[in-house]
Chains A and B, each alone.
Chain A
Amino acid sequence: MDGEDDAPKSLMEEMYANGIEGVDDAPSSSTSTTIRKNRPIISGEQLDIEAYAALYSGRTKIMRLIFLADHCDNSGMQLEALRMAYDELKKGENTQLFREVVQKIDGRLGPNYSTDATWCAMVDRKADQRKDKLESELNAYRTNLIKESIRMGYNDFGDFYYAHGALGDAFKSYVRTRDYCTTSKHIIQMCLSAILVSIEMGQFAHVTSYVSKAEQTPEALDPPSIAKLRCAAGLAHLEAKKYKLAARKFLEVGPELGNSYSEVIAPQDVATYGGLCALASFDRTELKNKVIDNINFRNFLELVPEVRELINDFYSSHYASCLEYLGNLKSNLMLDIHIHDHVETLYDQIRSKALIQYTHPFVSVDMRMMADAFKTSVAGLEKELESLITDNQIQARIDSHNKILYARHADQRNATFQRVLQTGNEFDWDVRAMLLRANLLKHEYNLRASRKI
Chain B
Amino acid sequence: MNSVEGLLTQIRGLSSTASDVLSLQNVLKQADESLHAKSTRLLPFLDQLDPSKHSLGYLYFLEACTAGPVTTESASSFVLIIARFISSCVAEQIRLAPDKFISVCKRFKDQVLLLEEPLRGVAPMLTAVRKLQSSTEHLTTLHPEFLLLCLLAKCYKTGLSILEEDIFEVDQPRDLYLYCYYGGMICIGQKCFRKALELLHNVVTAPMSTINAIAVEAYKKYILVSLIHHGQLSTSLPKYASGVAQRNLKSLCLSYMELANSYNNGKIADLETYVQANMEKFGSDNNLGLVKQVVSSIYKRNIQRLTQTYLTLSLQDIANTVQLNSPKEAEMHVLQMIQDGEIYATINQKDGMVRFVEDPELYKTCEMIEHIDLSIQRLMTLSNKLTVMDELISCDPLYLGKAGRERQRFDFDDFDSVPQRFNI
Contacts and interface: CB of A to CB of B under 8 A. Distances in A.
Contacts of A417: 363, 368
A424 to B, nearest CB: 5
Interface string B309-322: 11111100100000
B98 interface: no
Given A390-B305, A444-B207, A436 B167 contact: yes
Interface string B286-328: 0000000000000000000100111111100100000000000
A223 to B, nearest CB: 52
Contacts, number: 102
Contact of A421 (B171, B206, B375, B383): B375
A398 B311 contact: yes
A435 B312 contact: no
B424 interface: no
Given A389-B308, A445-B398, A401 B372 contact: no
Contact residues of A: prevailing secondary structure: helix
Interface residues of B, number: 46
B386 interface: yes
Interface stretch (B31-39, B121-129, B197-205, B253-261): B197-205
Nearest to B396: A442
Nearest to B371: A421
A431 interface: yes
Given A433-B201, A438-B389, A440-B173, A428 B378 contact: yes
Contacts of A442: 393
Contact of B312 (A400, A436, A446): A400
B353 interface: yes
B372 A431 contact: no
Contact of A402 (B166, B168, B312): B312
Interface in A394-414: 397-402, 406, 411, 413-414
B362 A399 contact: no
A439 B170 contact: yes
A437 B205 contact: yes
A429 interface: yes
A312 to B, nearest CB: 33
Contact of B353 (A398, A401, A428): A401
B398 A436 contact: no
A438 B388 CA distance: 13
Contact of B359 (A414, A421, A449): A414
Contacts of B376: 424
The 5 closest A-B pairs by CB, nearest first: A417-B363, A401-B312, A399-B311, A397-B311, A389-B309
A340 interface: no
Interface in B347-369: 351, 353, 358-359, 361-363, 368
Nearest to A441: B207
A427 interface: yes
B385 A440 contact: no
Contacts of A427: 379, 382
A399 B312 contact: yes
Given A406-B311, A433-B202, A414 B382 contact: no
B205 A400 contact: no
B361 A440 contact: no
A142 interface: no
B202 A398 contact: no
B375 A435 contact: no
B308 A390 contact: yes
Contact of A435 (B205, B206, B209, B389): B389
9 contacts: A397-B309, A398-B310, A399-B311, A400-B313, A414-B362, A425-B375, A440-B206, A443-B173, A449-B398
Nearest to A444: B207
Contacts of B305: 390
A159 interface: no
B313 A439 contact: no
Interface in B199-245: 201-202, 205-207, 209, 240
Interface string A384-396: 0010011000000
B185 interface: no
Contacts of A424: 375-376, 379
Contacts of B398: 445-446, 449
B176 interface: yes
Given A432-B168, A438-B393, 11 more contacts: A397-B309, A398-B310, A401-B353, A411-B358, A427-B379, A434-B386, A435-B385, A436-B168, A441-B207, A443-B170, A443-B171
Nearest to A446: B398
Contacts of B207: 437, 440-441, 444
Contacts of B351: 401
A429 B194 CA distance: 11
Interface string B168-198: 1111010010000000000000000000001
A397 B207 CA distance: 46
A39 B170 CA distance: 85
Nearest to B177: A440
A431 B382 contact: yes
A370 B15 CA distance: 91
Contacts of A413: 363
B83 to A, nearest CB: 32
A209 B393 CA distance: 55
A406 B312 CA distance: 11
